[in-house]
Amino acid sequence: MPPEGPLEDEETAMPPDARFVKRLVVVLTSVMIAGLVLIVGLLVARLTQAPAPLTFPDTLDLPADITPEAVTLARDWVLVLAEGEILLFDRATGALSHRIALP
């Protein structure tokens, strides 16, 4: 038979330190769930955006003896890898800025 008299509920039966830890765990779990939802939402929003288009300059003033092997586009310049050297072109004008010899 259950004991008669006032039943102690779970909250008053725990010592104060245990109640504090219980509340702390609930708060931290809630913050972690909210943070995870926020991160997933930001990833979805960011990944569904179309990337900025990369436009190639209309003309590049390649030297006559150069055969390009690879081209890399960056925000301000275009890099052309040729045999034995790297050519850096200004992206806005297409003019040759630097010519770097490879060892």
pLDDT tens digits, 1-32 = 555 655 556 556 889 899 999 999 999 999 99
* Alpha-carbon distances of 89 from 3, 54, 64, 81, rounded to whole Å: 89, 15, 15, 11
pTM value is 0.49
pLDDT mean across residues, the chain? 86
Strands 85-90 and 96-101: antiparallel
Q: Where are the beta strands (DSSP E) in the chain?
A: 68-73, 77-82, 85-90, 96-101
Alpha-carbon span 97 to 88, nearest angstrom:
6
pLDDT at residue 85 in the model:
92
Question: 89 - beta bridge partners?
Answer: 78, 96
